Amino acid sequence: MGRLEGVGEQRDPFISERLTGNLVSAFRVLDAADRALATHDAALANVVLGFEADARAGIGPVGGAVRGDAAVESILELAMRVADLARVAWRPDRAHPQDDEVSALRDDIDAVRAHAALAIDGGFDELSMLTRLVARADAHTAAMARACDVRRYACLAS
């Protein structure tokens, strides 16, 4: 198993194990949100959203791993945004996302997932790229959520 560390401190196996565990836990939540999006499963999305407090409580900070903790937190934020999109995107009062747009977002999530594996193996040097990939996927998700709201606001205005 690889090592993740914070801001340049020496590698500590305990920090590495805890951070790896936290990343894996965050990805379980993201995987469930991704599955809800792929299958248009609003019930699963609601479960993911309902699990947010438990997910955050179960993934505690790792002393000495500031960047790693930030990456874990950003992955959880992405999971919640994806779950929220999955919850509302196919409602009748929303503009539904196009299949290619959903596919592109799922590709972004896959890139995050793949780079997290590199971060686990390669150490904290990979965390900055992981954070950028998460930010890109998060921005994509937010844009899709705004696009879904366009029809809703048009219906409210008429």
Q: What is the pLDDT of residue 151?
A: 60
Position 119 scores a pLDDT of 80
User: What's residue 47's pLDDT?
Assistant: 95
From the list 109, 112, 113, 124, the residue with the least C-alpha distance to 64 is 124
- Mean pLDDT for back-to-back runs of 10 residues, the chain (158 residues): 39 69 91 96 95 79 76 94 94 89 96 88 76 96 89 50
**What is the rounded CA–CA span in Å between residue 67 and residue 69?**
5
pLDDT of the residue at 140? 96
Name every residue whose Cβ is closer than 8 Å to that of residue 124 and which is 6 or more positions away in sequence.
4, 5, 6, 7, 8, 65, 67, 68
Report whether 112 contacts 130 (CB < 8 A). Answer: yes
Q: Got the DSSP string for the chain?
A: -----SSSPPP-HHHHHHHHHHHHHHHHHHHHHHHHHHHT-HHHHHHHHHTHHHHHHHS---TT-HHHHHHHHHHHHHHHHHHHHHHHTTSTTSPPPPHHHHHHHHHHHHHHHHHHHHHHHH-GGGHHHHHHHHHHHHHHHHHHHHHHHHHHHHHHH-
